[in-house]
A and B are shown apart, each in its own frame.
Chain A
């Protein structure tokens, strides 16, 4: 019998898209969505971008409560956490109570990693939730001297937001080059230049020794002994998938919920979004992404497969993310694990626009652009089609020639 009772754990982007896709696929059974936060599903990318700007921010909620309940027919349990999973009886544990499912979508996302030993110190924040963003925004409004720990995408966006307001910002990065894992060493260095150009004090290869202050942060002491005065510290050192509640459930967990190419993790159980590690057939490897686009798409595929298992389809994608720093947009498609990175357009020392390609064997596997909105998706298309490195380089050359003659 086809499933009649869909339970979605996690009420954010992936959770919402799962519920919407199930309905769109004609599912008429019950949908229950459980979310640990008290908020209705909301969008995270703006939290480190528009939300930190000087102007009054727009509430980032995706849908109204009426829309979710009445139009989508979702029973919402907000402020409730799943605490366990009993696969034998097909039940999700919510503390003392149990929720039956016959199809389950796990969309519990990820939690920002914290620095040890700073609990209870006011002015030290991570940036993952709307509540975090309100706190960071409030501190920026008050003109905080800002220290960002970790030169990843979110930390860099916070630094941009603070600089746009004219505030003093220091970014502390433990690795010798920022973003090495996300885009490789060479392009990590190129991105780092954006910070230098906009007056952010970026210090690489140095760790945070401790954060000092009486009840509230006063300064950050680095491993080289320097002390930086600060009113606001934003910690952006990555995120961990929310899988603790699944410990002992029998599901395979390995930096995420392990799924096959159908996003299936067990009998009637699917996962999507930041929490899912699935086999991406396009690159023939397992990956866990923390990107908006794949979270939305995986959720739709997972939900359709969950409610119509007989017609299950695999999820294949060329990973894509963007990040806005100062007045530049960084976009990346594909995977950064490459044997060669070649800058095919722009001189990073001089130009605002840079295009770089990533090679594995004789295949194009990735592309990064800074202010290259008009080509990035063409490279995504090429990667999707399995284009050769030679063809990709030729295409880039042709685009560059056209642009130069314009």
Chain B
């Protein structure tokens, strides 16, 4: 049944959105914990990956919108609460909010691990269903993010073959977030209205994340970017304190110029900062709750942007700036408990915007009845 096939695709793409999103706060936290004027190269590496994750998020949302889905980004149950776990069929590991450190870089490497680097060997047969559920924990049936997307592409192809491309790509074009609104780099936000463009978008996500063949390059020449290796290798450059050279091949360690990395020049953030761990009523707790409010506002605006108001993305970008400054302010503050450790951004979602809260208050029945994956809040 078309409906069922679409529902399945919607679920998978929603998962893709959650997946792409869930990596962003950990990357941002590590990035912002770097002291100003230090570790510039590492900062740039992480930033370049974050920009691409944001692009991936946008692309996944565009594909979901193109097939008539509704991306959800402001539902507490769907948003990460750190540390989260990333589960694959054959492995799972926690992802936390960590300061820039060898442990953080190792986690990043695990997240971005390309298929052929997984020691356990051969690909398991492609599972025919995604694991369901998994609020907060992101379940993946494939083994790598790349394989997850490969499955998604196959499912899209199947659906198109079976029910016709037009039936599948039935979304409202005005819900697409294109280059007009998405501009912060990482590549181009594609307008999606066909199997071809959807495959292009999902292919781009995979290529930027993992390189194919023997090359380490992400093959991305948009904006005339300099030689850039795929995410895993970029993080490996940090770990090895050395850039890859264009001549390096799969399996090589980087052999390009040295990269200066100094893990001392980092604010000593306590892992997985949370509101509840700060002395209640303290000024610092106040700053944290300002951050979390801002973050929640950001998610709400992002949600709007992907639900028919693409121009809201402009506001999201400005909120990103404020989020960054608040996060850094937290990171610069010692926790006043004598531990010497610093506070940090919690990325704790504190709720839908006022309008939506009122909606829930007005009709709890409606809110409860709504399936968890339906966005509670829609642009008003």
**A interacts with B:** no
